[in-house]
Structure 1
Amino acid sequence: MRLILLGPPGAGKGTQSARLEKKFGIPQLSTGDMLRAAVKAGTPVGLKAKAVMESGGLVSDEIVVGIIADRIGEADCAKGFILDGFPRTVAQAKALDAMLKQKGMKLDAVVELVVDEKALVARMENRVKETLAAGGAVRADDNPEAFAKRLTQYREQTAPVSDYYKSVGELRTVDGMAAIDDVTAQLDKVLAK
């Protein structure tokens, strides 16, 4: 199962990815984690990324897709993978499609968790309260102002990715505002098709 999960921050992608990992025995791939691992391992693509990051630049789509290409070639991805947080732009989606085609692979599904943005802010505020009550550490960007910026950035840069996958007939949607178990059930149904 090769899968992309789309949705704004706080939509529940991480929660659902963890459940899908367990169900299908496939890894959830975070581009940030992959980037750090490639840099640490000193792979050719990792060395390129390190040079860009040390100069203060943003890692190019070409480098990120190269890191994903290396990562999905590893043994734990033999049965598939979940991409969460990538692609973030239409250009990245097209580059990913081209790379997968080159490897003789294709995506099994692109699923968007559709949510109400106002409800997401309330969800984020509740998550902060629960985390603090449990004695946990709160993410620096889990405050209303930073969260609003993340939502705006998502809307401007990443939301068009959904339109791209819709235009090529690959987008499936689930109601991300439902209870967690209900979202999981919807995902199971959508992925069974």
Structure 2
Amino acid sequence: MRTILLGPPGAGKGTQADRIVEKYNVPHISTGDIFRENIKNGTELGKKAQEYMNRGELVPDDLVVEIATDRLLKDDCKERGFLLDGFPRTVYQAQKLDEFLAANGQKLDKVIDLEVSEDVLMIRLTGRRVCKACGASYHVVNIPPKQEGICDKCGGELFQRADDNEETAKNRIDVYNKETAPLVDYYEKAGCLARIDGAAGLEETFSEITAALGE
């Protein structure tokens, strides 16, 4: 299964990605994780990316594509497919991904787009709390911890990320709408897009996803 998960910040991609990976036994390819792994291991690609990040610049599309497709060449992706999360971010990256897959005799099976209104996104983003110790994510309304301010999993302290305040959350949504939302039209024209109601309950949303994936 070769699938892409799209959706604005706060759409619930992380939660649904975990469920998809568990059910379908596919590698979860997160761009952020790939970047961190390459930088941590001191790879040539990681060093290049770090140079841009140190200057406060965006990593260029071609380098993002190179880092992402390098990961897709690993044995686990060749054998079991992948779930891409955070890549591609632009139509240009999507075109380069298509070229890469075609060159390797592959193609995308489905692109899942989690659709959520901006009002709901703002509630979700500003209510998120993250564990300082293990990174587990909660929400003061939708997924509250058993004990306020304490992680259920490890007992760590929960905090609100700086990018989860109202102003920053609105900016993140605006950036997504400008840069990444055009991918919806791109993949719809390609005939592989599945629009999913990301504002439904967790189970309802996952049921829609599995139906779109053919189960």
TM-score by length of structure 2 reads 0.82
1:133: which partner in 2? 148
Answer yes or no: is 1:184 the counterpart of 2:194.
no
Specify the code of the residue in structure 1 equivalent to 2:196. Answer: V
Specify the code of the residue in structure 2 equivalent to 1:9. Answer: P
For these two proteins, the number of residue pairs brought into alignment is 193
Once the two structures are superposed, residues 136-192 of structure 1 have per-residue CA deviations (whole angstroms, 9 ceiling, x without a partner) of: 122211111111111111111111111111122121111111100010100000000
**Residue identity (%):** 45
Give the 3-state SS of the residue equivalent to 1:57 in structure 2: coil
Matches within 5 A, 1:66-145: 66-77=66-77, 78-128=79-129, 129=140, 130=144, 133-135=148-150, 136-145=158-167
Within 1, Cα distance between the matches of 2:61 and 2:76? Answer: 24
Higher relative contact order (CA 8 A, sep 6+): 1
Residue 92 of structure 1 deviates from its aligned partner by: 1.1
Within 2, Cα distance between the matches of 1:52 and 1:124? Answer: 27
Within 2, Cα distance between the matches of 1:183 and 1:72? Answer: 27
Once the two structures are superposed, residues 109-159 of structure 1 have per-residue CA deviations (whole angstroms, 9 ceiling, x without a partner) of: 101011111112122334343469233122211111111111111111111
- Check conservation: 2:126, 2:169, Cα contact below 8 A: no
In structure 2, the CA distance between the partners of 1:109 and 1:126, relative to structure 1 (3 Å rule), is: same
- Check conservation: 2:27, 2:80, Cα contact below 8 A: no
Within 1, Cα distance between the matches of 2:106 and 2:67? Answer: 16
Answer yes or no: is 1:166 the counterpart of 2:188.
yes
* 170-179 or 97-106, larger mean C-alpha shift: 97-106
- Check conservation: 2:38, 2:46, Cα contact below 8 A: yes
Structure 1: state its 5+ residue gaps: none
- Check conservation: 1:65, 1:99, Cα contact below 8 A: no
Within 1, Cα distance between the matches of 2:7 and 2:192? Answer: 15
In structure 2, the CA distance between the partners of 1:45 and 1:127, relative to structure 1 (3 Å rule), is: closer
Within 1, Cα distance between the matches of 2:62 and 2:127? Answer: 38
- Check conservation: 1:125, 1:144, Cα contact below 8 A: yes
* 7-16 or 66-75, larger mean C-alpha shift: 66-75
Larger helix proportion, structure 1 or 2?
1
Within 1, Cα distance between the matches of 2:162 and 2:189? Answer: 36
Answer yes or no: is 1:39 the counterpart of 2:39.
yes
Residue 19 of structure 1 deviates from its aligned partner by: 0.3
Matches within 5 A, 1:10-49: 10-49=10-49
Specify the code of the residue in structure 2 equivalent to 1:47. Answer: K
Give the 3-state SS of the residue equivalent to 1:133 in structure 2: coil
TM-score by length of structure 1 reads 0.91
Answer yes or no: is 1:50 the counterpart of 2:50.
yes
Within 1, Cα distance between the matches of 2:83 and 2:49? Answer: 22
Specify the code of the residue in structure 2 equivalent to 1:104. Answer: G
- Check conservation: 1:4, 1:110, Cα contact below 8 A: yes
